[in-house]
């Protein structure tokens, strides 16, 4: 794909996410279209790709869990939890369960930060990671 093709793909995916700001400063995200496709863009935009290797990224920080092939391991991480539920919990409240794959990362990292993701963003990211 050409550079123009990549830009056009990014714009098409970005247009499938509608973020609405409310009067009290909170936002609400609505995903229109394929959540896994939207999740591809969100993985980069929300900062996940800054630290984690992902299905389509080749950058990650040493000691931070890789999120590649999540469908193969995420369902085994917490007894009684599906892969989708585990990933969603890890995004919604990262400090509830520290991944055994976390080695402290580089720098003053103590764990994954809370990214204040809403339910639609989490659903899109989970769909992307489990595709």
The pLDDT assigned to 32 comes to 66
Q: How confident is the model at residue 56 (pLDDT cuts 50, 70, 90)?
A: confident
The pLDDT assigned to 35 comes to 81
The pLDDT assigned to 15 comes to 46
Q: Which residue has the tokens 């991480």?
A: 77
Cα(40)–Cα(11) distance, integer angstroms:
12
The pLDDT assigned to 22 comes to 46
Q: What is the rounded average pLDDT for all residues in the chain?
A: 79
The percent of residues above 90 in pLDDT, for the chain, comes to 34
Q: Which residue has the tokens 């247009």?
A: 15
Distances (CA, A) of 39 to 14, 66, 103, 105, 109: 10, 16, 26, 24, 25
Residue 28 near residue 117, CB atoms below 8 Å: no
30 strand-pairing partners: 18
Cα(125)–Cα(71) distance, integer angstroms:
13
The pLDDT assigned to 25 comes to 57
Tell me the two tokens of residue 131: 């595709």
pLDDT tens track for 64-123: 889 999 999 999 999 999 999 999 999 999 888 888 888 876 666 677 888 889 999 999
């Amino acid at each position: 794909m050409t550079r123009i093709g990549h830009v056009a793909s990014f714009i098409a995916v970005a247009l499938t996410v509608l973020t609405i700001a409310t009067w009290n400063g909170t936002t609400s995200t609505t995903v229109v279209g394929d959540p896994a496709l939207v999740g591809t863009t969100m993985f980069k935009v929300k900062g996940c790709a800054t630290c984690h290797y992902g299905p389509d990224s080749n950058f990650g920080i040493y000691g931070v869990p890789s999120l590649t092939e999540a469908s193969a391991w995420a369902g085994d991480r917490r007894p009684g939890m599906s892969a989708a539920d585990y990933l969603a919990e890890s995004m919604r409240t990262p400090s509830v369960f520290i991944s055994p794959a976390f080695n402290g990362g580089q720098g003053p990292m103590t764990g994954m930060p809370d990214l204040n993701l809403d339910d639609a963003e989490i659903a899109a990211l989970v769909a992307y990671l489990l595709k």
